[in-house]
């Protein structure tokens, strides 16, 4: 009579698994790894991961990046202050007013649509929805039939 089969089982499995010796790696594995390391080592420094670069190179690359970032920020700020940009911004606001007009027209059309929907009643809306669903189902069925026909084994 086993007083606690679960613990007994756990102990048995633990013993069996821990008794397993390491699996022998295939003989081709070590040469393959050494070849991969050699290929890795032969790659030029700029194609290797940044962490593997020498300290001066890492420092220099960081300095270059910081300088680029600083130049970009400063250039952007100076550019935004120039007269040409201010004049262009004024012209652009004229172009943007066209978009504003378009949004207003769309708003009016939306309101008109809402009024129409409120007047035609829910019966028509349900009818339209059913028709749309049916049209979708028909398209799906036709598409499936076409695909089956096209890929049918001859």
Partner 1 sequence: MSDAPQFEAFLRQHQNLVFSTAMRLLANRAEAEDVTQEVFLKAYARFGELETSPTAAGWLRTVARNLSLNHLTRYRSRWTFFSEILAGRGEEEGEGTVDFAAPENTEEQLASTDRRAFVEQALEKLPAAQRVPLVLYHLEDQSYEAIAAQLGVSLGKVKTDIFRGREALRKKLAAVKETELGIVA
> Site residues (CB under 8 A) for partner 1?
6, 9-10, 12-26, 29-30, 32-34, 36-38, 40-41, 49, 51-52
Closest listed residue to residue 28, CA positions, set 20, 40, 36: 36
Nearer to partner 1 by Cβ, of 34 and 96: the residue is 34
How far is residue 47's CA from residue 83's CA, in Å, rounded to a whole number?
44
Nearer to partner 1, 41 or 95 (CB): 41
Closest CA to 52 of 41, 36, 62, 60: 41
Between residues 13 and 101, which has the closer beta carbon with respect to partner 1? 13
If the CB atoms of residues 9 and 96 are measured against partner 1, the closer one turns out to be: 9
Q: Which is nearer to partner 1, 39 or 105 (CB)?
A: 39
Minimum Å distance from CB 21 to partner 1?
Answer: 7
Q: How far is the CB of 55 from partner 1 (least distance, A)?
A: 14
Give the DSSP letter string of 1-27: --S-HHHHHHHHHHHHHHTPPPPPPPT
Give least dist CB 13 to partner 1, A. Answer: 5
- The closest of 143, 112, 142, 136 to 128, measured between CA atoms, is 136
Q: How far is the CB of 27 from partner 1 (least distance, A)?
A: 10
CA distances in angstroms from 102 to 52, 67, 86, 96, 99, listed in the order given: 56, 44, 25, 10, 5
Minimum gap (Å) between residue 14 Cβ and partner 1: 5
């Amino acid at each position: 009579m086993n007083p606690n089969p679960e613990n007994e089982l756990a102990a048995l499995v633990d013993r069996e698994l821990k008794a397993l010796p390491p699996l022998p790696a295939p003989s081709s594995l070590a040469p393959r790894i050494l070849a991969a390391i050699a290929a890795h080592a032969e790659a030029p420094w700029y194609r290797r991961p940044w962490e593997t670069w020498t300290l001066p190179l890492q420092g220099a690359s960081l300095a270059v990046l910081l300088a680029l970032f600083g130049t970009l920020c400063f250039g952007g700020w100076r550019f935004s202050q120039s007269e040409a940009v201010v004049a262009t911004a004024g012209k652009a606001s004229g172009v943007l007013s066209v978009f504003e007009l378009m949004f207003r027209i769309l708003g009016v059309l939306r309101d008109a649509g809402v009024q129409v929907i409120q007047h035609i009643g829910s019966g028509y809306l349900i009818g339209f929805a059913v028709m749309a669903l049916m049209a979708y189902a028909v398209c799906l069925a036709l598409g499936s039939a076409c695909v089956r026909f096209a890929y049918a084994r001859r």
